[in-house]
Structure 1
Amino acid sequence: MRDKITKRSVDAIEPALRDTFLWDTEIPGFGCKVTPKGARIYVLQYGRSGRDHRVTIGRHGVEFTAEQARNEARRLRGLIASGGNPALERSRDRSGPTVAALGQRYIDEYARPHKKPSGLAQDRRNLDNHIIPLIGSLKVSEVERQDIARVMRDVAAGKTAKDEKTKLQGRRIVRGGEIVANRVQALLSKMFELAEDWKFRPPNSNPCRGAKRFAEHKIERYLSFDEFARLGKALAAAEEGRFVPDVQGAPSEPQKSRNDGCKKHPKPRSQNPHAVAAIRLLLLTGCRLGEILELQWSNVDLERRLLLLPDSKTGAKTVYLSEAALTVLARVERIEGNPHVFPGKRLSEPLRSIRKPWEHICKAAQLQNIRLHDLRHSFASISAANGLSLPIIGALLGHSQPNATARYAHLVASPLHQAVDAIGKQIAGAMNRLP
């Protein structure tokens, strides 16, 4: 039957044994379906490429009034006139991938071919630890800006934090925090950018666009000359077998008592010589930790005093070696069959971690809040104190962009202060001379 669809005409339809349709006399294809149970549902029917399509608008009195349904029908007719196919688009939305499936495709088709192993591993961790537990079951087409904001709040608040046992590593600790939330947001932004390219979402619909990130404050920790001296003593002791981590004044665990009631005193010992040498080379080159631990003898050119790294965070990189760095390399024992300068326990593998030796050495040297990466910052601070310009410091550190070196600009002012002090003394001296 046909009539103008209004609240009165829709309410007047009596349910039958089968679905009953009332078609509007003004908007082509706009109608109301009445089911045998009395449900009234607004629909729009249209043809496309020789086939009939029907798209559901919504339920009468629950989701839409008659007038609202008419306006939605007009909007859909406009989409159809411009080449759209609302029924097909909604079908794709219902059968579209979840965020978890999008994450796996992102790993397979984007991250693995285009990112470095460390970046790939970080993306996997953020997906497994944060994104999938929070919104992995949502359809990609359903995710909205408030979902992204909720993910960031939850990660920052530590709702995805956990501490669990694993078979391979023994223990997995996930903390979350504001910085991790920013990394998760960046990963989601790239995933939804690709979702648009893969036709899972319409263009310019990235829900991460405009998401407010948490403020990040770069940690700038440099070793003082006194700390350099204490670190040097601890490294020498670790090499010579005189290493005692629980020195006086340093934090230590309570020692168990002997049978006679006297406390045990820790015996001097040595640390892994390759770990100690790696720390020395970090200090003397300003390299990143991964660049040193992955270093192979084939990358070392002793004659020209260079490390020729085939890959780094910024691509291929040349590291210039000082005489002190050459001395460290000359003392490193080469392990037959292992190409790495700092070999691990297994044949042909590099040293995977020096975290524990570093913690012991920091305790012995009474160094507080010093990360291995801070040795790179300390290298830059000494470079600046010796009057080197920012471009030279950037070249030594292997920065590909000038703004990466700009964080050390305030350190370069040190020799300028020395220069202006010398000038000030001469001027003041000239002014104070007696006639």
Structure 2
Amino acid sequence: MRAKLTTLSARNFEPADQAYEIVDTELKGFLMRVQPTGLKTFYYSYRNSDGRRKRIKIGPLGPSLTLAQARDKATSMAGKVADGTDVQADKVEGRQRAKETLKGTLGRFLEEQYQPWALANHKSGQNTINIVKASFPDLLTLPMSQIQLKRMERWRTEKMQQDRKATYVNRCVNALRGVITKAVEWEVLEEHPLKRLKNLKVDEGRKARYLSSDEEFRMLAALKERDDELKKARTRGNEHRAERGYPLLPDISHLAYADRMTPMVTLSLKTGMRRGEQFDLMWSEVDLINNVITVNGATAKSSKTRHIPLSPSAREVLGKWRGQCGLNEARVFPADDGGRLDNVKSSWTTILKKAGITQFRWHDMRHDFASKLVMRGVPLNTVRELCGHASLNTTLRYAHLAPDHKADAVALIG
């Protein structure tokens, strides 16, 4: 049977006495097989380079696989076939390699099987690997079949007794869960040993940390004071060098900023950019004429490109910073060696101490940006777009800051 597979039609196809197939008319090779039991399974059918007809199982229709997801996977397979890849043979070969690897331990599986795939397919792949290795060192020497639910429940209990936050515990467990999920998908494990393990409950309505007016004033003052101190220190250092005949370091007394920290902090407060997005930001993505920054999807956490207008203060700071950077500099905030910056912890700690601000992380500047937009009446969906949140649920944590929205709602019922 040939028909266009849609969410509605896929759900409405009824089982018959014998299994039958519906071949999609929109994507060549994409089909759904309906068993007499009612099970509906998606496949992708193709011809390899030898002209032999093959098919590869995508998975059964259900909560974990929608029609749209199955179609996306089939489309990806079609692209590989067009490039000359025999996807079925590739899957069998990969499965066999994974099985051989799993004769060893979780550590070997991570290094030899999961890591190459994760680094090629996920921006956070290395982070996941690091979390698993740091959080579960005792599991690395165990076969994955021995990672059981009871063991993980005991690990969680120990961490909670150590006063670790539920968000931290969930993050660690979910990293391990993701690794095991790939083993199940590659059919090297028959079932997921942690499938019944639910995340610890987290208060999603917790208060977002943002700066008060006084704290923001102290932050900006601390940045100015720090710039002045660094410039004076450079001048004193050069005087010392001159007296001893040493080569002088570049004079920074006439520059707007002593280093990258004031522009970076200002940009964080006024655009809500993530720290990693700033580390990856290129001057080609900064439009000082139209006052907009483009966060490239290739470096964004959500993998989606977004455009952030520059406020007057952010435009002024970036303009001055551009003026003192070399015109041949590609990165907006390069490391001292010209490469990608990866750490500002020491400087950030010094700034917070100088400003007298406590319990405020770098990422909280992003919360500050979102919170103050909401408090000024900006619609939540606009805040979501500016921050690059993948889901509106993430933005809803700031909803309580909207001016009088709850009072107005209750007033409607008199």
For the aligned pair, the TM-score class normalised by the smaller chain equals 0.5 to 0.7
Between structures 1 and 2, the one with greater helix share: 2
Report the equivalent of 2:146: 142
Q: Write the mapping of 1:13-412 to structure 2, written as runs, cut at 5 A.
A: 96-116=103-123, 119-131=124-136, 133-156=137-160, 178-202=166-190, 205-217=191-203, 218=206, 220-241=208-229, 272-310=258-296, 311-315=299-303, 316-332=305-321, 333-335=324-326, 337-347=328-338, 349-412=339-402
CA distance in 1 between partners of 2:393 and 2:214 (Å): 30
Tell me the TM-score normalized by structure 2: 0.61
CA contact (8 A) 1:221 1:378 kept: yes
* Structure 2 residue matching 1:413: 3-state secondary structure: coil
- 1:285, CA displacement in angstroms? 0.8
Structure 2 letter corresponding to 1:198: W
Give CA-to-partner distance per residue, 1:145-202, whole Å, 9 cap, x none: 21232343455556xxxxxxxxxxxxxxxx9764433222212222222222333222
CA contact (8 A) 2:294 2:308 kept: yes
- 1:419, CA displacement in angstroms? 12
- 1:308, CA displacement in angstroms? 1.4
CA contact (8 A) 1:140 1:200 kept: no
Q: Are residues 95 and 365 of structure 1, via their aligned partners in 2, closer, same or farther at CA, if it must alter by over 3 Å?
A: closer
Q: Are residues 304 and 197 of structure 1, via their aligned partners in 2, closer, same or farther at CA, if it must alter by over 3 Å?
A: same
CA contact (8 A) 2:149 2:197 kept: yes
Give CA-to-partner distance per residue, 1:8-62, whole Å, 9 cap, x none: xxxxxxxxxxxxxxxxxxxxxxxxxxxxxxxxxxxxxxxxxxxxxxxxxxxxxxx
Could you tell me which runs of 5 or more consecutive residues in structure 1 were left unpaired when the two chains were aligned.
Answer: 1-91, 159-174, 245-269, 422-435
* Structure 2 residue matching 1:281: 3-state secondary structure: helix
Aligned length: 284
Q: Are residues 330 and 212 of structure 1, via their aligned partners in 2, closer, same or farther at CA, if it must alter by over 3 Å?
A: same
Larger RCO (CA under 8 A, 6+ residues apart): 2
Structure 2 letter corresponding to 1:185: V
CA contact (8 A) 1:188 1:208 kept: no
Greater gyration radius: 1
CA contact (8 A) 1:99 1:135 kept: yes
Give CA-to-partner distance per residue, 1:58-116, whole Å, 9 cap, x none: xxxxxxxxxxxxxxxxxxxxxxxxxxxxxxxxxx8998332222222453343112211
CA contact (8 A) 2:133 2:140 kept: no
* Structure 1 residue matching 2:390: 3-state secondary structure: coil
- 1:242, CA displacement in angstroms? 8.4
* Structure 2 residue matching 1:318: 3-state secondary structure: strand
CA contact (8 A) 1:156 1:176 kept: yes
Q: Are residues 343 and 197 of structure 1, via their aligned partners in 2, closer, same or farther at CA, if it must alter by over 3 Å?
A: closer
CA distance in 2 between partners of 1:410 and 1:213 (Å): 25
- 1:405, CA displacement in angstroms? 0.7
Structure 2 letter corresponding to 1:237: E
Q: Are residues 338 and 198 of structure 1, via their aligned partners in 2, closer, same or farther at CA, if it must alter by over 3 Å?
A: same
CA distance in 1 between partners of 2:164 and 2:133 (Å): 12
Structure 2 letter corresponding to 1:395: E
Give CA-to-partner distance per residue, 1:355-378, whole Å, 9 cap, x none: 222222211211111111111111
- 1:416, CA displacement in angstroms? 7.5
Could you tell me which runs of 5 or more consecutive residues in structure 2 were left unpaired when the two chains were aligned.
Answer: 1-98, 233-255
Q: Are residues 305 and 416 of structure 1, via their aligned partners in 2, closer, same or farther at CA, if it must alter by over 3 Å?
A: farther
Identity of aligned residues (%): 25
CA contact (8 A) 2:281 2:331 kept: yes
CA contact (8 A) 2:101 2:113 kept: no
CA contact (8 A) 2:306 2:388 kept: yes
Q: Are residues 187 and 352 of structure 1, via their aligned partners in 2, closer, same or farther at CA, if it must alter by over 3 Å?
A: closer
* Structure 1 residue matching 2:367: 3-state secondary structure: helix
